[in-house]
């Protein structure tokens, strides 16, 4: 069968720090993704599994409450019965969801009670996170942040040809992107405020390897967030897109 959208997955890199001093980037992290649907309004969060036996793993939800305070809570899963993150209560945004171990079932993280799904954690994976989190603008000067993700072709036999990474949406016009020079690279930066030395822009980027994203391979995709001095808090969604051709 041809490659479908579900075969093209945006994974995290192994180093996705929430501080400005730790290493950023590196190889692909096949346990975590950099995409989810942010909550549309302040709400409680709950989670459940599609497998009744998932009762020993814990799930940690990190977010910000309505006052902007960083909050976090750990809950033990209760199988197919939803568990509510009642201690953190109503939150304004989700920043990260992290399982203590992989699960037998698919984990659904959603608004409570039985509300809109924020993201599911597939069987064999550990979580998801926002690419730029727990950071702030500088009151006196522009500040740049860098995050690395990977677009992976998970199809078992077909190459995505004429492959291009695009900026599908950037409503706040603060993010640009750049691609690694080769597939499946492991490049890092000293920290998330150090440039990886690539050329960033909002233009479409051709995937290297003659625009062929081979099955099972991934292309490192760096994002650059530029915050003007004293920039106000943002809650918008940046959308990266991988496009190409398939048989």
Q: Does residue 36 fall inside a structural domain? A: no
Is residue 56 domain-shared with residue 170, that is, in the same domain?
no
Angstrom CA distances, 99 to 27, 46, 83, 87, stand at 20, 14, 14, 18
Q: What is the rounded distance in angstroms from the CA atom of residue 25 to the CA atom of residue 194?
A: 11
Domain boundary (129, 155, 184) is at 129
> Is the model's pLDDT at 225 over the cut of 90?
yes
Is residue 27 domain-shared with residue 145, that is, in the same domain?
yes
Q: Does residue 165 fall inside a structural domain? A: yes
Is residue 140 domain-shared with residue 157, that is, in the same domain?
yes
Domain boundary (91, 108, 129) is at 129
Q: Does residue 55 fall inside a structural domain? A: yes
Per-residue pLDDT, 58: 98
Is residue 80 domain-shared with residue 164, that is, in the same domain?
no
Question: What is the band of 235 on the pLDDT scale with cuts at 50, 70, 90?
Answer: confident
Is residue 233 domain-shared with residue 115, that is, in the same domain?
no
Is residue 97 domain-shared with residue 122, that is, in the same domain?
yes
Domain boundary (103, 129, 155) is at 129
Q: Does residue 192 fall inside a structural domain? A: yes
Number of domains in the chain: 2
Is residue 173 domain-shared with residue 240, that is, in the same domain?
yes
Mean pLDDT, to the nearest integer, of 76-92?
98
Q: Does residue 25 fall inside a structural domain? A: yes
Per-residue pLDDT, 67: 94
Per-residue pLDDT, 112: 97
Q: Does residue 63 fall inside a structural domain? A: yes
Cβ atoms of 237 and 188 within 8 Å: the answer is: no
CATH number of the domain at 184, please.
Answer: 2.60.40
Question: What is the band of 147 on the pLDDT scale with cuts at 50, 70, 90?
Answer: very high
Q: What is the rounded distance in angstroms from the CA atom of residue 14 to the CA atom of residue 129?
A: 12
Is residue 140 domain-shared with residue 220, that is, in the same domain?
yes
Question: What is the band of 139 on the pLDDT scale with cuts at 50, 70, 90?
Answer: very high
Q: Does residue 159 fall inside a structural domain? A: yes
> Is the model's pLDDT at 8 over the cut of 90?
yes
Per-residue pLDDT, 55: 98
Q: What is the pLDDT of residues 19-71, one digit of tens each?
A: 999 999 999 999 999 999 999 999 999 999 999 999 999 999 999 999 999 99
Per-residue pLDDT, 236: 87
Q: Does residue 37 fall inside a structural domain? A: no
Share of the chain above pLDDT 90, in %: 97
Q: What is the rounded distance in angstroms from the CA atom of residue 225 to the CA atom of residue 140?
A: 17
Is residue 197 domain-shared with residue 124, that is, in the same domain?
no
> Is the model's pLDDT at 109 over the cut of 90?
yes
Is residue 57 domain-shared with residue 80, that is, in the same domain?
yes
Domain, as residue range, for 220? 5-31+132-245
Is residue 122 domain-shared with residue 168, that is, in the same domain?
no
Per-residue pLDDT, 1: 83
Is residue 136 domain-shared with residue 125, that is, in the same domain?
no
């Amino acid at each position: 069968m041809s490659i479908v959208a579900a075969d093209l997955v945006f994974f995290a890199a192994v180093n996705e720090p929430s501080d400005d001093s730790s290493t950023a980037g590196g190889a692909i992290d096949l346990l975590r993704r950099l995409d989810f649907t942010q909550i549309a309004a302040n709400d409680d969060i709950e989670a459940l599994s599609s497998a009744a036996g998932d009762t020993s793993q814990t799930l940690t939800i990190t977010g910000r409450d309505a006052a902007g305070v960083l909050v976090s809570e750990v809950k033990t899963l209760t199988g197919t019965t939803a568990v509510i993150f009642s201690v953190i209560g109503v939150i304004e945004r989700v920043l990260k969801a992290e399982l203590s171990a992989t699960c037998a079932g698919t984990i659904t993280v959603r608004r409570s009670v039985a509300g809109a799904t924020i993201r599911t954690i597939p069987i064999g994976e550990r979580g998801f996170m926002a690419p730029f989190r727990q950071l702030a603008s500088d009151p006196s000067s522009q500040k740049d942040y860098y995050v690395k993700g990977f677009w992976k072709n998970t199809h078992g036999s077909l190459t995505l040809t004429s492959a291009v990474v695009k900026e599908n949406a950037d409503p706040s016009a603060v993010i640009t992107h750049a691609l690694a020079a080769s597939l499946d690279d492991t490049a890092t930066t000293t920290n998330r405020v150090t440039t990886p030395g690539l050329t960033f822009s909002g233009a479409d980027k051709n995937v290297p390897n003659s625009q062929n994203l081979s099955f099972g391979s991934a292309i490192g995709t760096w994002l650059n967030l530029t915050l003007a001095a004293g920039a106000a808090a943002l809650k918008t969604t940046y959308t990266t897109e991988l496009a190409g051709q398939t048989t």
